[in-house]
Every structure is written in C-alpha cells, then in structure tokens.
Amino acid sequence: RENFFHCDTCGSCYPNEIRSSHTCVEKAMHQTCSVCLQDLFQSTIQVTILQCGHTIHQECLRELQMSFAGLQSIRCPICSVSLYKYEDLWAELDRQVAETPMPDEYRNTHVSIICNDCQQTSEVEFHVLGHKCLRCSSYNTRRE
C-alpha cells in the first residue's frame, strides 16, 4: 500500500515511482484499451501508463508497435504523443537530415507543422526525412 499513490483525477492507484512524472488523464484506468477494447480497470492483464497519461494493455501496445512502421509505431494511439523520450532517435534524425541535402527545387521550401509532443506550431524547412519541432526538438510532427 505504501508503494502506491491514489490520483483522484485518474481515479486509480499508481506506483510511487511515477508520482513526479505522472500526467493526469481523467478516469484513465476507467476506460477501454484502445486496441482490444476490453475494460482496463477490471482487467487482469498488465496495463501500461504512457508518457501522455493514457493507458493501454502492455501486450496490446507491443502488438501495436509491431504492426506499424516509422514514427507511427512510437506514438500513443489516442493522442499521438511520443510513447517515450526519444532524444537518441531525434539526434540520429538530425544527423540523417544533415547528410541528406534536398534537391534544388525543394531547398528553402517551408512548411507549417504541429508538434504532436508539445502542440507547438512552427514554420520549418521541408525535408523528406522529417520536420523537427523548433520548440522541443521532436520529429513527432505533422503538417498543418
């Protein structure tokens, strides 16, 4: 009991290890899994709490990640926020973007993006490999 805390907003108890980083989602555990649609609160299957605060069966998340490719496999299926911190992946994308110059007809072409992680809108240079958020440096973005 002392290893857990109760979140009134979420309506559930969570491990103390996530107390400082916990993101509240109203009644998060009193929802259905977005993959298998089973009730999470009554479930005997291991539930994962995502960085964004949404909840999903651990096995369903694993299956979801295996079924998607690219950035889609690292996003919450509900809100599209990155599942985890991906600083190493973003650094690798920085390197690849720097090593892959765009053809002349696409250089200095700008696009409007929205970051799925911080919700910031930005005008960035178009690149076929991805568009980096100017605020949080994530490549988990979409064109506006």
Helix, strand, or coil (residue 111): strand
Q: Are 114 and 142 contacting, i.e. CB atoms less than 8 angstroms apart? A: yes
Tell whether the model's pLDDT for residue 92 goes beyond 90: yes
Q: For 10-53, write each residue's pLDDT tens digit.
A: 777 888 888 888 787 887 778 899 899 999 988 889 988 888 98
Return the amino acid letter for 56: I
Neighbours of 61 (CB within 10 A): 21
Tell whether the model's pLDDT for residue 134 goes beyond 90: yes
Closest CA to 98 of 74, 124, 127: 127
pTM: 0.80
Find where tokens 């259905």 sit.
32
Distance CA(85)–CA(144), nearest Å, equals 23
Residue 54: alpha-carbon gap to chain centroid: 10
